[in-house]
Structure 1
Amino acid sequence: MTEPFEGIEPVRYEGPQSTNPMAFRHYDKDRVVLGKRMEEHLRPAVCFWHTFCWDGFDIFGGGPFSRAWHAGSSPAEIARARRAAAFEFFSKLGTPLHCFHDIDVCEPSDTPDARAQNLAVAVDDLEHRQAETGVRLLWGTANLFSHPRYAAGELTNPDPEVTACALRQVRDCLDATHRLGGANYVLWGGREGYDTLLNTDLKTELDHFGRFLNMIVEHKHRIGFKGKILIEPKPHEPMYDQYDFDTATVFGFLKNHGLESEVHVNIEPNHATLAGHSFAHELATANALGIMGSIDINSGNYQNGWDTDQFNLDTRDITLAMYELIRAGGFDTGGFNFDAKVRRQSIDAADLFHGHIGGLDALAKALLATETLLGQDEISANSARRYAGWDSALGKILLAPGTSLGDAADLAANQGLDGRQVSGSQEYLENIIKRALD
């Protein structure tokens, strides 16, 4: 195989004045920010699927990429080349973590037995490469959406034979993730949903989803996996209606099946906007409900309603989300996984570096802006003033367990309360964000 990144030197931090396109301007992994190294805050990861598996194919045409690792004498050789290229890339980019689907790291498999055997070979190789490079696994996941058997779903499929195949695949991939020291395991419900209610028993599918998710959690504990089980909220595409529409929907489902303390969320900005929310909203919701897990960092194209998985360079949008993340304590097992891909015309191997360098610099700049915001404390101080009334005698009476609706209404009438209006100061607060990014 041709050396995939021959001539490309390891990426270094050179500072904001650098004009070197192959250097970081803001991401200085060892810089201490809010008591931790920048790398420890961000925990950046590179994904296998978009970066090393995708050949640029879309529904309108074949793949234009001719990556060195896409060619080989056999499918097994191509898979080995892909893994080798990936770890060379991780090492040169300097990211400490990676993520994969089971089928990303091994050759195509005709049968479930072949898939299990091929995954076992791949895991042996991945274990060796992780030990050699020090790059660790942020999370693994089973691809339960590409094979034709999953056209009608995985854990929610109307055919128990299909669901049994999905459960076997999850078991194998969760075991592999555990062996590789993964910090999380993700259930990406690519086809957990429906195209039409005319052929869907909604209650049965949701009940099955809950039953089998409990089964997966039980297996996690049985094998001693210490990482988090994550569900990735996704509103639609490929199904018209997904059961994991957004973070709040996922929490309601988990609560209904007694899983709210066992399963967390893997949030993606592109999915948040497709659900009609902001990236920051999804993080704030996850933190409020106690189910924050990890982040697949990307963005969509606001001109369409498709999941375009672009590198997120919107530092204001990321800062609003970063503020919610860091003030809630930041990541424990999670991280920022670059679930992003270069555009189809970006055919050079160097373009993969440009995308990730820009994405990491945007995260770093947002983290530094968040440090400024938390140091000034103006936003939280404004919020404290806005809600201070709930610490007053009136607020305490309204929240007291014995206060009835009639008591509250009589209190308002007897005291002649009219609810004076107080400014929300939105423009003032938005200017604080702007100044932190200037």
Structure 2
Amino acid sequence: MTDFFADISPVKYAPDAPADTLAYRHYNPDEIVAGKRMEDHLRFAVAWWHSFAWPGGDPFGGQTFDRPWFGNTMDLARLKADVAFEMFALLGQPYYCWHDADIRPEGDSFAQSKRNFEEIIDYLGTKMETQGTKLLWGTANLFSHRRFMSGAATNPDPEVFAWSAATVKNCLDATHKLKGENYVLWGGREGYETLLNTDLKRERAQAGRMLQMVVDYKHKIGFKGGILIEPKPQEPTKHQYDYDVATVYGFLKEFGLEGEVQVNIEQGHAILAGHSFEHELATASALGIFGSIDMNRNDYQSGWDTDQFPNTVPEVALAYYEVLKAGGFTTGGTNFDAKLRRQSLDPVDLIAAHVGGMDVCARGFKAAAAMLADGGLEEARAARYAGWDAPQAQTWLQDATLDQIETTVAGGAIDPQPRSGRQEILENYVNRFV
């Protein structure tokens, strides 16, 4: 045991606990909602990078956090793991997620980094067996090191492409070894700053080839989990090739991978792409590529991906409504890709942030389940499109020509009149639940 979280007790469901007590007021893992335990619906995961690797910097200032495991040695990597699993136990979190660079020190060579990685993977595996915490997904950090300044799969230098492919192979091996339920391709710098020095067609082909190799290797090693892409609009490059869900779907179709790859959707990225979170979720569901989510929020005044813990129940409720409509999570879950504010220095802040986020998600999820069971939104939507169920409308949609439709309209058989979309009434409906 470490002493980092000394004097902090395991967090329990206690809705009537005093205000200054760390307790879940809304998240009861054993509560049955929509036919399943809430824990099994929500599948919460801690993000290793923001919780244990991020130093608290911003564009105008450096490190503010003073963590005893900060440093580039194996002993410190093991200490970080010890603290992480202590936090998982305090929170009762069923899952966690990592990038390779979060959990192992950087070596002087690829081979040394690989040895460090494999050693810490074995260490994590032992802890997982003892404690029962599972891996929701693994991924590779192909964006922080200066070698990736011009991308990873999309880099103009083929040696960077090869380094990236080898790194992804090792991370997929490790995810498989730890029985991870997904592998995520997080394209942190797969984009461009200027078209003056960019060959779009070439870079897209490189990205497509990399993804094809990942899918082939998944099947070669027998990995049964999901392969996920996380859409990103403009972080940090001016334009990312995986801009939003619809863009990713077009990319998958181009390279014949729409049946192999799904998406991991982040709230903050959805907003930066000019969408709502629920829009991206609904789009993924409609296209058949919904996989998992990163649950966070942006500061809407900043215009940047601030990765804050969720605190707005109505937004979360609408997101989980789409998750439930899509059939819920299978291999995916709710990963808190969220970090403390750089002034939140204390260990208790890290616990409190997750407790608050889990409670907000629980409240939103229960509201979403209640709305779906009530059926009001689906009834209103069905009524709005009911005309399309008529035989004539089906003929127009499936068999008719423009000439035939024009004859019907010109003959005076129809005279369409505008009908209300009832938006305010539906907004009032949602507010009854949140």
TM over 0.5: yes
Question: Which amino acid in structure 1 is aligned with residue 426 of structure 2?
Answer: L
2:416 — aligned with what? 419
Answer whether contact 1:3 1:68 (CA < 8 A) is retained. Answer: no
Give, in whole Å, the separation in 2 of the partners of 1:164 and 1:102: 17
- Which of 401, 406, 410 aligns to 2:407? It is 410
Q: Distance in 1 between matches of 2:196 and 2:65?
A: 41
Tell me if the contact between 1:2 and 1:68 (Cα under 8 Å) persists in the aligned partners.
Answer: no
- State the distance in 1 between where 2:335 and 2:48 align: 10
Provide, for residues 132-185 of structure 1, a one-character-per-residue CA deviation record: whole Å limited to 9, x for no partner: 110000000000001111111100111111100000000000000000000100
Gap runs ≥5 in structure 1:
none
The number of equivalent residue pairs is 434
Q: CA deviation at 1:59?
A: 2.5
Which position in structure 2 is the counterpart of 1:62?
A: 62
Equivalent position of 1:35 in the other structure = 35
Aligned counterpart, 1:326: 324
Secondary structure of 1:436's aligned partner: coil
Pick from 409, 425, 428 the counterpart of residue 428 of structure 1. 425
8 Å contact from structure 2 (residues 17, 23) kept in 1: no
Cα pair 2:10 2:90 within 8 Å, conserved? yes
Q: Does 1:15 align with 2:15?
A: yes
CA contact (8 A) 2:152 2:189 kept: yes
- Provide the rounded CA distance (Å) in 2 between the counterparts of 1:304 and 1:409: 51
Identify the residue that residue 244 of structure 1 maps to in structure 2: 242
Is residue 310 of structure 1 aligned with residue 331 of structure 2? no
Amino acid at match of 2:46: V
- Which of 122, 144, 159 is 2:120 aligned to? 122
Aligned AA for 2:51? T
Residues 68, 282 of structure 1: alpha-carbon distance in 2 compared, 3 angstrom cutoff:
same
Q: Is the 8 A contact 1:16 1:26 kept in 2?
A: no
Q: Deviations over 1:180-229 (max 9, x none)?
A: 00010000000100000000000000011111110110000000001111
Q: CA deviation at 1:416?
A: 3.5
User: 1:54 offset after TM fit, Å?
Assistant: 1.1
Structure 2 match to 1:137:
135
Deviation at 1:396, TM superposition (A): 1.4
- The separation in 2 between residues aligned to 1:407 and 1:9, in whole angstroms, is 73
TM-fit CA distance, 1:407: 1.5
For the residue of structure 2 that corresponds to 1:305, the secondary structure is coil
Of 183-192 and 403-412, more deviation after overlay is shown by: 403-412
Match of 2:196 among 195, 198, 207: 198
Question: Is residue 32–residue 38 contact of structure 1 (8 Å, CA) maintained in 2?
Answer: yes
Quick one: distance in 1 between partners of 2:406 and 2:316? 43
AA partner of residue 274 (structure 1): L
How far does the alpha carbon of each residue in 1:338-368 deviate from its partner, in whole angstroms, 9 at most, with x for none? 0000101100000001110110001000111
The aligned amino acid for 2:127 is: R
Asked whether the equivalents of residues 2 and 82 of structure 2 are also in contact (C-alpha less than 8 Å), the reply is no
- Find the residue that maps to 1:46 and give its secondary structure: strand
* Alpha-carbon separation, structure 2, partners of 1:412 and 1:255: 37
Give me the CA root mean square deviation.
Answer: 1.2
- 2:180 is paired with a residue whose SS is coil
> Following superposition of structure 1 onto structure 2, how do residues 279-318 of structure 1 map, counting pairs within 5 Å?
279-318=277-316
**Could you say if the C-alpha distance between residues 39 and 2 of structure 1 is closer, same or farther in structure 2, counting changes exceeding 3 Å?**
closer
Per-residue displacement from partner, 1:51-104 (whole Å, max 9, x unpaired)? 001121222222111123336xx7111111001100000011101000000011
Separation in 1, partners of 2:186, 2:243? 12
Aligned residue number for residue 92 of structure 2 = 94
* TM-score normalized with structure 1 length: 0.97
1:413 offset after TM fit, Å?
2.0
Q: Give the Cα–Cα distance (whole angstroms) in 2 for the partners of residues 394 and 111 of structure 1.
A: 68
CA distance in 2, matches of 1:245, 1:337: 20
Q: Cα offset for 1:112? A: 1.0
Number of the residue aligned with 2:26? 26
1:18: how far off? 4.8
CA 1:60 to 1:418, structure 2 compared with 1: closer, same or farther past 3 Å?
same
SS in 1 for 2:286: helix
Which amino acid counterpart does residue 193 of structure 2 have in structure 1? D
Helix, strand or coil: the match of 1:68?
coil
